[in-house]
């Protein structure tokens, strides 16, 4: 950690836990009344015109008028994934994208709490019951070794602690170290990720049976990863599956 990062870390820590120093904005480091300054807070956006199932941005209201109540995209209607809903806190841009990137490459308790709490607040707004167990998307062991921690697991741990939900992080494994997915087209991502996860040998599926499970990830891009993980959970007997993430990238499906 360089000097500035270290100073910022301790200033935030002293403020949050000991209430000694005034708070500075987590994004721009300017003085702030809470974790974000007013300007950065304005930059947090969330698209509500998205499919309730996969969170893809929906076409205009005219185009999806054939299913206005369900607010599901054409893809989820014709070829539904094995998860029933997606909950995300914000769009993946501006401050949230910066915080997630910072968190990915620098394990920080403050960032972990901040990002996980964004998901927790959003979960509390929904009418459906809270999940009975959280399943963080596993990292391949090689990637885990490089990074030193699994960001999805750390997020799940904090959410689980806040909402009193168990975290099952030893049931699934990532068997293939898929190439970096960012920047790839949907179809390529789907091909890359196919069969990349499986249930760990010897693990008891009974833990998953008839439960409402939530797959936890930091960012959902095309949803290919979520689809693959959900497939395994469904096969293992899950009754209902939700996908939860800090952020969702915005882009339209080409019908």
Q: Are 89 and 82 in contact (CB under 8 A)?
A: no
Minimum distance between the CB of residue 245 and Zn ion, rounded to whole angstroms?
14
Identity of the residue, 172 or 220, whose beta carbon is nearer to Zn ion in the bound complex? 220
Per-position x/- string for 23-62, each x denoting binding to Zn ion as judged by CB under 5 A, each - no binding: --x-xx--------x--x----------x-xx-x------
Q: Residue 86 or residue 151: which is nearer to Zn ion going by CB?
A: 86
Q: Measuring CA to CA, how many Å separate 77 from each of 67, 68, 175, 192, 250? A: 9, 12, 30, 24, 20
Residues touching Zn ion: how many (CB under 5 A)? 11
Nearest-approach distance from CB 44 to Zn ion, in angstroms: 11
The smaller minimum CB distance to Zn ion, of residues 5 and 176, is found at 5
Q: Interface with Zn ion includes 111 (CB under 5 A)? A: no
Among residues 23 and 40, whose Cβ is nearest to Zn ion? 40
Neighbour-count burial for 54-81, b at 16+ CB within 10 Å, e otherwise: bbbbbeeeeebeeeeeeebbbbbeeeeb
Nearest approach, Cβ of 75 to Zn ion (angstroms)?
5
Residues that bind Zn ion (CB under 5 A): 25, 27-28, 37, 40, 51, 53-54, 56, 73, 76
């Amino acid at each position: 950690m360089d000097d500035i990062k270290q100073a910022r870390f301790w200033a935030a820590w002293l403020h949050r836990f000991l209430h000694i120093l005034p708070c500075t904005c987590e994004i721009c480091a300017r003085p702030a009344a809470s974790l974000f300054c007013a300007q950065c807070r304005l930059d947090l956006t969330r698209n509500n015109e998205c499919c309730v199932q996969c969170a893809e941005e929906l076409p205009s209201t005219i185009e999806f008028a054939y299913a206005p109540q369900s607010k599901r995209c054409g893809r989820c209607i014709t070829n539904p994934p094995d998860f029933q809903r997606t909950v995300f806190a914000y769009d993946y841009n501006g401050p949230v994208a910066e915080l997630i990137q910072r968190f990915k490459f620098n394990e920080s308790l403050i960032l972990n709490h901040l990002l996980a709490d964004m998901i927790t607040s959003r979960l509390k707004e929904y009418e459906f019951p809270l999940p009975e167990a959280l399943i963080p998307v596993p990292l391949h062991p090689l990637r885990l070794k490089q990074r030193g921690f699994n960001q999805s697991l750390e997020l799940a741990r904090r959410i689980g602690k806040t909402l009193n939900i168990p975290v099952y992080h030893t049931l699934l494994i990532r068997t293939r170290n898929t190439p970096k997915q960012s920047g790839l087209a949907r179809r390529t991502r789907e091909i890359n990720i196919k069969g990349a996860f499986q249930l760990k040998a010897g693990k008891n599926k009974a833990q998953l049976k008839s439960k409402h499970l939530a797959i936890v990830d930091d960012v959902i891009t095309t949803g290919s990863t979520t689809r693959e993980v959900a497939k395994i959970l469904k096969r293992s007997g899950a009754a209902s599956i939700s996908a939860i993430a800090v952020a969702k990238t915005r882009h339209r499906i080409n019908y």
